[in-house]
């Protein structure tokens, strides 16, 4: 089973341990090549160093020069624009330097890792057992430093938090406790663990089976109790090889985002760089005073001034509302991350079957998006799921069918989470 972790701190020497996830058709027990680890192109060569130096000079010298060229000495808004030029330029230079030096630091670490892998051809093959598997609950995909895998190899424990290779791997690809994995121990210390990414897992309880459509609809028609429709209930579409019988490892898999203080910093920077000159600069530049030669009345002038003041907010206000709403939803007392289990295998669950689903079908692209789904639980309760998570659109051939099996979990606050499998591999 995989538990959660928020921050990974490795000991000295553990930073060079790697986890590589292989495809289904790759031969087992095969030692990965240096190119397959996707590290050969990450080191800095003289050409890349020259480019990074030029980029550094461009941002540290070019932005101040641009501010000097745009500096205003006349006009009623010169104080605002000059202040904005300085603040915006400082933010851009700071962000650029942080990204540049962060990339250089990462390249140096990658270079050290590449040097540690020079003895890859002398690696000793072992079979290891996963004794700890933890992941950041806010991740939908695996990222270096956001998971922790502890493997026992030859009586010694090795911790791994770095992912080798490129590509997006969902959290269900991480090996679980008890899995046997291939391991290559290098003479100079680092360990490379290799595991298959698409492993069919056994269900935690009895597997969910489908029911004939006619039978499930007849059973639903005999239900006399009211239909449960709770705003916190949600159902998730699961694509192979992930099993719908196993609750997702992280709450991020349910398209849930937790309120993060860093989001407010990003919003503040975006407001200063984009929204502030729009909501202040545009109205100020177009502001009019009554002039006799234009034959304007005070009402005409104030009408245009009001329109220019309101115009930028038509674009800024919707984005601001969406951001605040997402932050409030992520920080509310009913947020999913507050009640999501750290041990999904222990959550009580039951079986259900699809009675009805509402979907929008695009016949041209042969895809559909599910909006609502009604499920009949094995205890005779009809449940209306108005929140459907997972893939926003799926192939028509992969849509769940009436009578399709559903696994339903009830969390400690009473909400229901359900999962159902997509048909075939067309999702």
Mean pLDDT of the residues in the chain: 80
Q: What is the average pLDDT across 400-417?
A: 92
Residue 416 has pLDDT above 90, yes or no: yes
My answer on whether omega of the bond before 209 falls inside 30° of 0, hence cis, is no
pLDDT, greater one: 273 or 13: 273
Task: Give the pLDDT of residue 407.
Answer: 94
pLDDT, greater one: 213 or 60: 213
DSSP state of 293: G
For 141-169, the DSSP string reads: B--TTSEEEEEEETTEEEEE--B-S-S--
| Domain ranges (residues) in the chain | 3-39+118-196, 46-116, 213-256+341-421, 261-334
Task: Give the pLDDT of residue 102.
Answer: 77
Task: Give the pLDDT of residue 408.
Answer: 94
Task: Give the pLDDT of residue 425.
Answer: 46
Task: Give the pLDDT of residue 381.
Answer: 92
CA atoms of 218 and 211, how far apart (whole Å): 11
Q: What is the average pLDDT across 177-206?
A: 82
Tokens 């330029």 sit at which residue? 89
**Number of helical (H) and strand (E) elements in the chain, helices listed first:** 9, 15
CA atoms of 402 and 407, how far apart (whole Å): 15
Residue 326 has pLDDT above 80, yes or no: no
Do 146 and 1 meet the contact criterion of CB atoms below 8 Å apart?
no
Task: Give the pLDDT of residue 203.
Answer: 73
Task: Give the pLDDT of residue 424.
Answer: 66
- pLDDT tens-place string over residues 106-156: 777 677 777 777 777 888 889 999 998 888 887 777 877 788 889 999 888
Task: Give the pLDDT of residue 40.
Answer: 46
Residue 330 has pLDDT above 80, yes or no: no
Measured from the Cβ of residue 333, the count of other Cβ atoms closer than 10 Å reads: 7
- For 217, the enclosing helix (H) or strand (E) is helix 213-221
Task: Give the pLDDT of residue 101.
Answer: 80
């Amino acid at each position: 089973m995989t538990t959660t972790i928020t921050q990974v701190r490795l000991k000295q020497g553990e930073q060079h341990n790697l986890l590589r996830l292989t495809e289904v058709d790759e031969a087992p027990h095969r030692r990965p090549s240096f190119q397959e680890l996707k590290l050969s192109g990450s080191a800095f060569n003289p050409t890349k160093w020259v480019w990074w130096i030029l980029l550094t000079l461009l941002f540290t010298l070019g932005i101040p020069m641009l501010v000097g060229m745009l500096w205003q000495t006349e006009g009623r808004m010169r104080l605002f624009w000059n202040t904005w030029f300085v603040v915006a330029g400082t933010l851009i230079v700071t962000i650029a330097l942080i990204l540049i030096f962060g990339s250089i630091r990462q390249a140096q670490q990658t270079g050290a890792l590449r040097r540690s892998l020079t003895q890859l051809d002398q690696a000793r093959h072992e079979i290891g057992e996963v004794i700890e598997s933890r992941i950041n609950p806010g991740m939908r995909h695996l990222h270096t430093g956001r998971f922790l895998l502890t493997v026992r190899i030859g009586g010694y424990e090795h911790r791994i938090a770095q992912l080798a290779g490129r590509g997006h791997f969902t959290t269900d690809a991480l090996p679980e406790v008890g899995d046997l994995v291939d391991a290559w121990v290098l003479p100079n210390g680092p360990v490379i663990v290799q595991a298959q990414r698409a492993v069919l897992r056994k269900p935690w309880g009895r597997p969910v089976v489908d029911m004939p459509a006619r039978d499930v609809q007849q059973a639903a028609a005999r239900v006399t109790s009211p239909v449960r429709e709770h705003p916190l209930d949600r159902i998730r579409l699961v694509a192979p090889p992930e099993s719908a019988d196993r609750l997702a490892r992280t709450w991020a898999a349910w398209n849930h985002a937790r309120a993060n203080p860093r989001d407010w910093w990003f919003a503040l920077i975006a407001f200063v760089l984009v929204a502030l000159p729009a909501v202040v600069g545009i109205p100020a530049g177009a502001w009019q005073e009554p002039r006799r030669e234009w034959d304007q009345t005070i009402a005409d002038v104030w009408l245009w001034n009001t329109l220019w003041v309101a115009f930028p907010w038509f674009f800024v206000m919707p984005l601001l509302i969406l951001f605040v709403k997402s932050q409030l939803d992520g920080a509310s007392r009913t947020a999913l991350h507050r009640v999501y289990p750290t041990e999904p295998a222990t959550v009580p669950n039951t079986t259900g079957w699809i009675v009805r689903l509402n979907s929008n079908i695009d016949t041209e692209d042969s895809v559909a998006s599910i909006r609502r789904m009604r499920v009949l639980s094995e205890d005779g309760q009809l449940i209306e799921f108005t929140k459907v998570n997972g893939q926003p659109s799926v192939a028509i051939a992969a849509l769940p069918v009436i009578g399709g099996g559903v696994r339903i979990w009830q969390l400690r606050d009473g909400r229901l989470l359900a999962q159902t499998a997509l048909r075939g591999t067309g999702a």
